[in-house]
Amino acid sequence: MSRRARLMLFAVAAAGLAATLGAGLAGLPSFGSQISAYAQMLNRLAPQQRHVTDVVSAISFDYRGIDTLFEEFILLAAVAGISVLLRPLSDESRQLPEDKAPDRTIPPPSPAVWLLAVFLSSLLVLTGIETVTHGQLTPGGGFQGGVVLASAFYVVYLGTNYVTVERFQPAPLLEASDGVGASGYVLIGLLGLFAGASFLSNVVGLGVTGNLISGGTIPLLNLVVGVEVAGSFAILASEFLDQTAVIRTRQR
Amino acid sequence: MSVLAYGVVAWLFLIGIYGVVTSRNLIHLVVCLSVAQSATDILLLEIGYRSGGHAPVFVDLPAHPGPAVDAVMQALALTDVVVGAAVTGLLLALAVQVHKRAGTLDPDKLRATRD
């Protein structure tokens, strides 16, 4: 199909889509006027029922916990898919970049870059752990904190080199944390069954609202999700880095 | 106000699809798809918004905080962001392999897949 024909086809389809979308959006309640009765009820009940202050976390990890279970599995499946897609193919091999001029020493990174990497990565680890563990109290949680934790690895790479990063993030550990995170969610869900309630019921002691340890299973689920997301995003970065750094076409 | 708020959603979605249709580079195409997908995030947050509402986080609030916005929609937007990141990663990995096999990222030049 030529570009012209494709654009014509798109124009027709887009006009139809715009009309349907416009009609659909026009049927929504006007912006900012009201929220659903379900949401109002949860906003009122969640702090008392689950002893949390962040209702978004209570919904993600308790009231709609099974959604988040599948969401976690989607992430796991995507990362597994990316690992498979980016493996060394039959005509490729893994080779660490070799030093072409061994008589010349590699200049160390400038002290400013190195300091920034050390300072920023430790700050990111701290912020990540804070975000994961305070998910039930303030905005944040496993997904957001996990991404912050994984970005600490990226900063180490920026400040040093590939070999150092490989030492920092051994692949088996990352893959294990990915799997432990995903299966940990299921195991915490099973706690509910063992206690005689339904899957993913919040059966752990709820604690005092506003304390760090409160909300029952919500902080535990945040923790396992944080481990999984941090592992997933670190694997993602290392898979894409490997493509440029160590995977080469085999010489014939 | 409603027209502007929901118009942004329709505009972002359509311009993202337009980018996908006319793209000459697979990485550009993935970014365009992310633009289209961000329309759904904005729509979710807008449906859950309430004028003058505060975040659904009930800590350190003033004496008369007024209504809170919809926390369900925010949780759904979180799901949307995570799934979006997973899809973007997979598509970028596919783009890497396409470039290795075909030597190009232009969808129009990928002859082998068309015949």
Q: pTM for this structure? A: 0.88
Is A4 part of any domain? Answer: no
Contact A55 B48 (CB under 8 A): no
Contact B47 A28 (CB under 8 A): yes
A-chain residues near B79 (CB < 8 A)? 60, 67-68, 71
B-chain residues near A28 (CB < 8 A)? 2, 6, 47
Is A143 part of any domain? Answer: yes
User: What are the pLDDT digits (tens) for A181-193?
Assistant: 999 999 999 999 9
Q: Which residues contact B12 (CB under 8 A, 6 or more apart)?
A: B35, B36, B38, B39, B42
Structural domains in chain A (count): 1
Is A197 part of any domain? Answer: yes
User: What are the pLDDT digits (tens) for B61-108?
Assistant: 887 788 889 999 999 999 999 999 999 999 999 999 999 888 889 988
Residue A55 has pLDDT above 60, yes or no: yes
Q: State which fold the B2-51+68-109 domain adopts.
A: Helix Hairpins (1.10.287)
Q: Which residues contact B100 (CB under 8 A, 6 or more apart)?
A: A89
Q: Where are the domains of chain B?
A: 2-51+68-109
pLDDT at B112: 57
Higher per-residue confidence, A148 vs B101? A148
pLDDT at A252: 55
Is A132 part of any domain? Answer: yes
**ipTM (interface pTM):** 0.87
- Among residues B80, B84, B53, B83, the alpha carbon closest in space to that of B69 is found at B53
Give the ranges where chain A is alpha helix by DSSP (H).
3-26, 37-50, 55-58, 65-85, 111-133, 142-159, 162-168, 171-194, 217-245
Domain that holds residue A208: 42-96+108-249
Is A119 part of any domain? Answer: yes
Per-chain mean pLDDT for chain A: 89
Give the mean model confidence (pLDDT) for residues A69-87: 93
Is A22 part of any domain? Answer: no
Is A161 part of any domain? Answer: yes
